Structure 1
Amino acid sequence: MAREARSVFEAGEIRTEFQNSGLSPHFLHRIWKYVIQNPNPNNYTKFEWDQIPNLPSPAYSLLRSNFKPLTSTLHSSLQSTDQVTTKLLIKLQNGAFVEAVIMRYDTRLGKYNGKPRPGGPRSTLCISSQVGCKMGCNFCATGSMGFKSNLSSGEIVEQLVHASRFSKIRNVVFMGMGEPLNNYNALVEAIHVMTGLPFQLSIKRITVSTVGIIHAINKLHSDLPGLNLAVSLHAPVQDIRCQIMPAARAFPVGKLMDTLQLYQKNSQQKIFIEYIMLDGVNDNEQQAHQLGKLLQTFEVVVNLIPFNPIGTISQFRTSSEHRVSGFQKILRGTYNIRTTVRKQMGQDISGACGQLVVNLPDKRSVENTGLLTDIEDIIRH
């Protein structure tokens, strides 16, 4: 039986094929650039590899026999009423679906340290690393899907290719469907492609979010130096963390903090701490002090995330603005920890934090307001 064709963005496999055929991997950048610049997003059956100029003749037959320009297709896109968020529903070769979200920002809005912010418009892409997720976080719609499969490195990169048809992507966050560090090898290979030609994204503008996979964090800095690390902490003590994140049983808070201390020592970078605000669960003043004490020896930015409703899952409620503000004041005032509140984007298209779950597009409309802050800006300042 013939082997299923692979994505041309499957970097490890295509490099191996080229080397085994005596071809230089140097030609891969030219191939990728041609595919990106000659879009035919939902019908590559008519794509002719021979159209790519100046390749060695054996390369054309190898490409025709073993690879596709893209193995995924853009099933649909949905624009939020906030006018800055677009959710992409992407169909994989095996028939499964994943979601990616484009978030557009203008850094000239607002001020930093009382001064106008430099820059201008740019876009961040939130990427999925798995179909579903095995972490089972009780506040997350993706967790309700269970784990289906890992994405290949090519399928991860193809999300960037699809998104590039809509907007020039400057930043990438691995905060979509799945636990990125549970698909470690594909993640690392995909990021290497994204930071090389022809994409040339800066590693400093790529953020990987994890619930705290300790053994993978220990490898991350050596494999991807300069990468931004975000940790979904969500509670300052182990019992509450396990209550809302069952997988946290495998990653005790104490051991996780030791791991992050070593990571920060080696990387010399700030760590981004994600903390979802759940009414009556993890949002009281005592818990703010516990969190402050836990993090006071680190260089971190804490991002407080208002809980997003996820359909029929009504176990949790969103913390009040007063509760969130009080929590923030304790972290800032008592512990001098930089603390931000995430402005929600794309709630009406289920594209906000914790809402990614494969559904056919719907047309719920909820207006979102407020200045938007990009994650990489927060970490670097």
Structure 2
Amino acid sequence: MALRSIFDASAIRTEFENSGINSHFIPLIWKYAIQNPNCELDEVPSLPSSAYPLLRSKFKPFTSTLHSVFDSSDGVTTKLLIKLQNGAFVEAVIMRYDTRLGKYGGQPRPGGPRSTLCISSQVGCKMGCKFCATGSMGFKNNLSSGEIVEQLVHASYLSQIRNVVFMGMGEPLNNYTALVEAIHVMTGLPFQLSPKRITVSTVGIIHAIKKLQSDIPSVNLAVSLHAPLQNIRCQIMPAARAFPLERLMDTLREYQKNSQQKIFIEYIMLDGVNDEEQHAHQLGKLLETFEVVVNLIPFNPIGTLSHFRTSSEQKVSTFQKILRGTYNIRTTIRKQMGQDISGACGQLVVNLPDKRSTGSAGLLTDIEDLRL
């Protein structure tokens, strides 16, 4: 039987409780493993003697390894190719920003350099969005909560991570239990990320959205809407058939009422599909009663996997002006980051640097969406 990651919180907590070991030792084990990535669990100091044989027989510090690191030419984006215990691969992407370079209210923004980590929740994805390279992989398996958290640990050795977005490979709400557990770990000791700096992106899994606010309050919700009409959504997002737009908007209205938080709306700009002025007006009318931030995402080419084209800068700009000017909806245009390393939005498909993967060389997955 494969050993579990020590970052699989429910597994290690259950084992400790069954053995009468206080669970307050668990964050100490995590902290030691992070600070000593090549350690053996026998080396963790100050644990009860009964903890050592239990840890040795059932857990290991890391079940995944950092296989490859790819840096973009501008040094702003880094893609991590991570090999899991079962031999599969996932990708995570670090995006670096300097808030001092922007302006807010005419003044430089406070802060300075910061990094956002885009995390994967599944190997592949079953949603099948036609503009996303990850969807071309199909669904392979869910990640455990420990495998999700380990992406953060691997990334933390390369950059100080302030924000986490679940916009990598997979549909996070289709791996709900592991997602919630991983976020609880990230917001507790020793990581202590603010839940307000964590964003979960979804195509609109209605029943899970209803649970999310009560299970992890303060976490940001992002919805991959991508079209203002149900028929267009179904054309480019086959999974949308199971989540009718009217029901989805009712769910988001209830979510916002309960959470009192902005909702991020992701909208990929596809030339001639969803980027005309009429679509902007339809989207504005759909969202005008909500407190939202619309993030317009220029489509990232994914080779032979798609027949879509990128909307022109003029179309994207006009779309933004309509949402802002006519409907007073805060609208941003996503900065393209990491295209040269296939680390941009929608490009996550694992491209191995050699032919070690039998029958799947070239297939790995890219990011469905990025935000902060």
Quickly name the TM-score band, shorter chain normalised. Answer: over 0.9
**Equivalence for 1:249:** 241
**Equivalence for 1:31:** 29
**In structure 1, C-alpha distance between the alignment counterparts of 2:40 and 2:34, rounded to whole Å:** 14
**In structure 2, C-alpha distance between the alignment counterparts of 1:155 and 1:64, rounded to whole Å:** 19
**In structure 2, C-alpha distance between the alignment counterparts of 1:163 and 1:304, rounded to whole Å:** 27
Instruction: State the Cα deviation string for residues 100-149 of structure 1 (Å, max 9, x = none).
Output: 00011111112012221110001110000000000000000000000000
Structure 1, unpaired ranges of 5+:
41-46, 363-373, 377-381
Instruction: State the Cα deviation string for residues 232-291 of structure 1 (Å, max 9, x = none).
Output: 000000000000000000011100000000000000000000000000000000010000
**In structure 2, C-alpha distance between the alignment counterparts of 1:68 and 1:84, rounded to whole Å:** 32
More displaced 10-residue stretch of structure 1: 108-117 or 125-134: 108-117
Of 314, 323, 326 in structure 2, the residue corresponding to residue 322 of structure 1 is 314
**Equivalence for 1:19:** 17
* Equivalent residues in 2 for 1:16-165, closer than 5 Å: 16-40=14-38, 47-165=39-157
**In structure 2, C-alpha distance between the alignment counterparts of 1:256 and 1:311, rounded to whole Å:** 32
**In structure 1, C-alpha distance between the alignment counterparts of 2:138 and 2:177, rounded to whole Å:** 21
Runs of at least 4 residues of structure 1 off by over 2 A? none
Q: 8 Å contact 1:82–1:345 — kept in the other structure?
A: no
Q: TM-score, normalised by structure 2?
A: 0.95
Of 226, 230, 234 in structure 1, the residue corresponding to residue 222 of structure 2 is 230
Give the superposition deviation at 1:314.
3.6
**Equivalence for 2:324:** 332
Q: 8 Å contact 1:273–1:303 — kept in the other structure?
A: yes
- Secondary structure of the structure 2 residue equivalent to 1:65: helix
**Equivalence for 2:365:** none
Are residue 357 (structure 1) and residue 357 (structure 2) matched?
no
**Equivalence for 2:269:** 277
Q: 8 Å contact 2:226–2:266 — kept in the other structure?
A: yes
- Secondary structure of the structure 2 residue equivalent to 1:108: helix
**In structure 2, C-alpha distance between the alignment counterparts of 1:92 and 1:63, rounded to whole Å:** 20
Counterpart amino acid of residue 297 in structure 1? T
Are residue 302 (structure 1) and residue 300 (structure 2) matched?
no
Q: 8 Å contact 1:97–1:131 — kept in the other structure?
A: yes
Q: 8 Å contact 1:78–1:361 — kept in the other structure?
A: no
Aligned length, in residue pairs: 357
Give the superposition deviation at 1:97.
0.3
**In structure 1, C-alpha distance between the alignment counterparts of 2:40 and 2:261, rounded to whole Å:** 45
Q: In percent, how many aligned pairs have the same letter?
A: 83
With over 3 angstroms needed to count, the CA separation of the structure-2 counterparts of 1:114 and 1:361, relative to structure 1, is: farther
